[in-house]
Amino acid sequence: MDLVVITQAYYWENSMNKVLLTGAGGLIGSHIAELFSRNNIPLKCLVRKTSHISFLKQLNVEIVYGDILQKDSLQRALTDVSFVIHTAGKSSDWGSYQDFYKNNVTGTMNLLKICNALHINDIIITGSISSYGEENCPEPKNEESPLNSHYPYLFDKQFPSSMNYYRDTKALLTQQACEFAREKCMNLTVLEPVWVYGEREFHSGFFEYVKAVERGMKFAPGSRKNCFPVIYAPDLAEAYLIAYQKRLSGINRFIIGNPITPKMNDIYSLFCQFADLNSPKLIPKCLIYPLAFGMELIASIFSSRKSPLLTRSRVNMMYDHIDFSVAKAREILGFEAKTSLQEGISKTVKWYQENGYLKKPNRSQNEKLSDQGDF
């Protein structure tokens, strides 16, 4: 009888202590799912019916279909859940403001309100360093820096940038989520990653860049001087695991990145070198910016669903010096990224090649790695 009681209690405890992960089919979410599965943490992965989930089906996770914009499906997904990790949202530099607001702000608040109603008080959400602004800045920003998400592009008032839609709605979701959690006495941790790369990345810019080089791009915007913060997706997943295990009380925000910010040109050069491609020659900003402005304007006038190759935001980012401090995450979470830039990019490019997204190199990855200096 005692054994039966113990077994029932164990089953009840574990069935009521699942983690719900939203956006599990995305770059960040899929790596969190992989890590949590490896650590035998009971995980429910919320995905849309249109999501590509072949990778998730290989993991020891429960897949549930729903949408953060559909409250009924969210409520069903949150059954038997005690902790939530939220990564779903719209991450892009193209689209309408309404679409960004709906997916980033409304979706996040839907989730928090239903969690509160169901007495689920421990939540991690995904913010962004873009909330603090990504303009050219000589000093590293940190969690105490003011929110300054809106980039003052040329003719910004008359001709808005979709990248600002992303930045502004990320700042809004962070503000509103923190205010709501504070009012309802919920434990909310906001992880704010720098730019993410890694296996299964297709829309952050890195894959698009190396694919364009493979197709024959000989010239590209860029500088050898500016720094650009990046983090390898499996390292970022470790930060989510640590935050889940620590279960900090109250409201906490952490910038998640590498302790050393590399030069942007070093990042793209490594992608090209590991893909066995010649890096494009760099074009001065004064020559490429007018072209980007024109391409973005034409695409906007004709309401193109597909983003143009160049936009003001893409060009500015290739020249702006962007840096963030990760000291708080190291001191409070005890998190520090472990993967070197060389190793992370090597693994990423190898995954693209093995899955047919890039051509396989003539030389081995080890030979390529031995040719590189320290980045």
The answer, as to whether pTM is greater than 0.85, is yes
Report the distance separating Cα 56 and Cα 35, nearest Å: 12
Residues with Cβ within 8 Å of residue 323, at least 6 apart in sequence: 137, 139, 140, 141, 227, 229, 261
CB 307 within 8 A of CB 245: no
pLDDT tens digits, the chain, 375 residues: what are they? 343 333 333 333 455 589 999 999 999 999 999 999 999 999 999 999 888 889 999 999 999 999 999 999 999 999 999 999 999 999 999 999 999 999 999 999 999 999 999 999 999 999 999 999 999 998 999 999 999 999 999 999 999 999 999 999 999 999 999 999 999 999 999 999 999 999 999 988 999 999 999 999 999 999 999 999 999 999 999 999 999 999 999 999 999 999 999 999 999 999 999 999 999 999 999 999 999 999 999 999 999 999 999 999 999 999 999 999 999 999 999 999 999 999 999 999 999 999 999 998 775 554 544 455 444
Domains of the chain: 89-371 (3.40.50.720)
Q: Which tens digit of pLDDT belongs to each residue from 258-286?
A: 999 999 999 999 999 999 999 999 999 99
